[in-house]
A and B are shown apart, each in its own frame.
Chain A
Amino acid sequence: MKVMISAFVASLVIASAAPVVLGQFGWSSAEQESSATSVRLD
C-alpha cells in the first residue's frame, strides 16, 4: 500500500511541477500566442 500511496503522491507532484517545467521551455499553453507577441503593428 505504501507504493500505491507514493505513486499517487508522485502523480500530484508531477502535475504541480508540469506547468513550471513546461514554462521553462516556453510551452505554456496559457501564455502561447498572447497579444503582445502575436499582433504585428506595421
Chain B
Amino acid sequence: MNLKLLGAAVFVLATLSFNSVWAEEAPAVDRTATGGAQTLEDIMARQQKLKVDETFRSENLGDPANAAPMTDQLGTRGGVSDADTYRSIRYNEFDANTQVRGPAADVMIQNGGISWYKLREGPIITYGGGALLGFIALLAVFYLIRGKIMIDGGPSGTTVQRFKAIERFGHWLLAGSFIALGLTGLITLMGRSFLIPVMGPDVFATLAAGSKWVHNNISWSFMLGLVMTFFMWVAHNIPGKLDWQWLKAGGGIFTKSHPSAKKFNAGQKIVFWAVMVLGFSVSLSGLSLLFPFQMPMFAETFSVINSVLGTEFATALTPHEEMQYANIWHSIMAFVMMLAIIAHIYIGTVGMEGAFDAMGNGEVDVEWARQHHDLWVAEVEAKQSKGELS
C-alpha cells in the first residue's frame, strides 16, 4: 500500500518535471527577398510560439556613416530612416528627451517586459507551484510510511524550559508574517491564472489590493523577526563535528535512533541558515520592489559574479530590467523558503510528538528533550544543580 502511494507521488513529480514550458528555437530564415526585413516565416514562427532571433531588426537601426550629404535628397536624417527610428524605440536604443524627471521616464518600450511576463506566468508558476504541491504530497507519503515520531516510552510528565518568551515572540513574529507573506504572495503571483476564473475579476481586484497592502506592510514584521531570531540563536547554530554525526545517522528518522544533539540539531541548523540566507535575500529583493527604481542591485551583483566566475551576465540593465530581475529572484527565493518552512512546520507539528510545545508554551517534556537534545538537557541540568549548590 505504501509502495503504491510512493509510486504515485513519483509519477506526479515526474509529470510535473517534464512539463514543457520553454519555447523551441525557430528555424533559420532567409531574408534576402525582403532586403533583411521581416518575412512571413518570422510572423508565422511567432504565432507558433517559437523563439525568433530578433537581432535582424533590433540591430538594424541605421548607420550615420552611410548618411547622404545634407545637400542631397533625404540627406538630413543622417543615415537613419523613420523605420530605423521606430525600431530603435522598439528596442530601447532611442536617445529620448523628456520633461518627466522620474526614473525610467525615457524608456518608451521595454522589450524585457515580455520575457519577464512569460517567465513569471510560465515556469515560475508551473515549477514553483508544482514543487510546493509535490513536496506536500511527499510529506504526506512520508507520514503514511513513517508515522508520527513518538517519545520512546511516553512522556515523563516533567518539563524543562526550552525557549524563553522573547525567543518565542521572535519566532512567531517571523512565522506569522511569513505565512501571511507566503499566502498573499501566492495570491499576487497566481491569482490571475487560478482565482479570476473562479471568483471573477471584481472580487479578485479587492482581494489583490488587500493582498498587496498586507504583503507590502507586514514585510517589516518579517524583517524584524528575522533580525531578532538571528541574534538570539546564531550562537547555537554554528556547525560542528556533532552535526556531521547527526547527519550521518539521518537524524535517526529512518533508523528510529536518537543521535546526540545540543540545543539545535543539524536539521534545525540547516533550517536556521536556510531561513537566514533566503530570508535576507528575499528581504533585499523585496525592498528593491517596495521602493521601485530606488534600490537597483542586479547590475552590480552580475558585475561581481562576472569578475569572480568569468561569466557574461548583462551589467548594463535598464531600470525596468532591474525591477524584473528583483521580482523573479524574489519569487524563486520565496518558493525555496516555503519548501524549507513546510518541512519545518511538518516536523514541528504532526511529524513529532512533543515538538510543538517548544514554541507553544516554551516547556518540553524532559524525556522528549533527552531523546532529541541529550547534550542540551545535560547542560541545563548541570546549570540547575550548580545553581542549587551555590
Measured CB to CB, the residues of A under 8 A from B are 1, 3-4, 6-8, 10-12, 14-16, 18-19, 27, 29, 32-33, 38-42
B387 at the interface (CB under 8 A from A): no
**How does the 8 Å CB contact mask read for B287-301 relative to A, with 1 for contact and 0 for none?**
000111010000000
Q: Which stretch (B5-13, B142-150, B214-222, B241-249) binds chain A?
A: B214-222
B112 at the interface (CB under 8 A from A): no
Q: In the bound complex, do residue A8 and residue B165 qualify as a contact, i.e. CB atoms below 8 Å apart?
A: no
Secondary structure at the A interface, as helix, strand, loop or mixed, is helix
Residue of A6, A7, A19 with most partner-chain B CB within 10 A: A7
Residues of chain A within 8 A (CB-CB) of B171 are 7
Other-chain contact of A7, B176, B180, B291, B294 (Cβ < 8 Å): B176
B122 at the interface (CB under 8 A from A): no
B200 at the interface (CB under 8 A from A): no
Report how far A38 CA is from B106 CA in the complex, Å. Answer: 13
Report how far A14 CA is from B224 CA in the complex, Å. Answer: 10
Other-chain contact of A8, B172, B224, B362 (Cβ < 8 Å): B172
Q: In the bound complex, do residue B218 and residue A38 qualify as a contact, i.e. CB atoms below 8 Å apart?
A: no
Q: Which 7 A-B pairs have the closest CB atoms?
A: A7-B172, A11-B221, A15-B217, A33-B102, A15-B218, A38-B102, A8-B176
Q: In the bound complex, do residue A18 and residue B220 qualify as a contact, i.e. CB atoms below 8 Å apart?
A: yes
Measured CB to CB, the residues of B under 8 A from A are 99-103, 105, 165, 168-173, 175-177, 180, 214, 216-218, 220-222, 224-225, 290-292, 294, 359-362
Q: In whole Å, how far is A17's beta carbon from the nearest beta carbon of chain B?
A: 8
Report how far A14 CA is from B174 CA in the complex, Å. Answer: 12
Q: In the bound complex, do residue A4 and residue B99 qualify as a contact, i.e. CB atoms below 8 Å apart?
A: no
Q: In the bound complex, do residue B221 and residue A4 qualify as a contact, i.e. CB atoms below 8 Å apart?
A: no
Q: In the bound complex, do residue A40 and residue B99 qualify as a contact, i.e. CB atoms below 8 Å apart?
A: yes
Q: In whole Å, how far is B43's beta carbon from the nearest beta carbon of chain A?
A: 38
Known: A7-B172, A11-B222, A29-B291. 5 other contacts (CB 8 A): A3-B165, A7-B170, A11-B218, A29-B292, A40-B99
Q: In whole Å, how far is B215's beta carbon from the nearest beta carbon of chain A?
A: 10
In this complex, what residue of A is CB-closest to B215? A15
Q: In the bound complex, do residue A15 and residue B102 qualify as a contact, i.e. CB atoms below 8 Å apart?
A: no
Q: In the bound complex, do residue A15 and residue B292 qualify as a contact, i.e. CB atoms below 8 Å apart?
A: no
Q: In the bound complex, do residue A14 and residue B172 qualify as a contact, i.e. CB atoms below 8 Å apart?
A: no
Residues of chain B within 8 A (CB-CB) of A7 are 168-173, 175-176, 225
Q: In the bound complex, do residue B172 and residue A33 qualify as a contact, i.e. CB atoms below 8 Å apart?
A: no
Q: In the bound complex, do residue A3 and residue B168 qualify as a contact, i.e. CB atoms below 8 Å apart?
A: yes
Residues of chain B within 8 A (CB-CB) of A40 are 99, 101
Other-chain contact of A16, B216, B217, B222, B291 (Cβ < 8 Å): B217
Q: In the bound complex, do residue B360 and residue A1 qualify as a contact, i.e. CB atoms below 8 Å apart?
A: yes
Residues of chain A within 8 A (CB-CB) of B361 are 1
- Say yes or no: A4-B168 contact (C-beta < 8 A), given A11-B173, A11-B176, A14-B218: yes
Residue of B99, B100, B176, B294 with most partner-chain A CB within 10 A: B176
Report how far A41 CA is from B319 CA in the complex, Å. Answer: 24
- Say yes or no: A38-B217 contact (C-beta < 8 A), given A1-B360, A7-B173, A8-B172: no
Report how far A8 CA is from B221 CA in the complex, Å. Answer: 9
Q: In whole Å, how far is A23's beta carbon from the nearest beta carbon of chain B?
A: 12
Residues of chain A within 8 A (CB-CB) of B218 are 11-12, 14-15
**Sampled A-B contacts (21; CB under 8 Å):** A3-B165, A3-B169, A3-B362, A4-B360, A6-B169, A7-B172, A7-B175, A11-B173, A11-B176, A11-B177, A11-B180, A14-B217, A15-B218, A18-B216, A29-B216, A29-B291, A32-B291, A32-B292, A38-B101, A38-B105, A42-B99
Residue of B180, B217, B292 with most partner-chain A CB within 10 A: B217
Residues of chain A within 8 A (CB-CB) of B170 are 7
Residues of chain B within 8 A (CB-CB) of A27 are 291
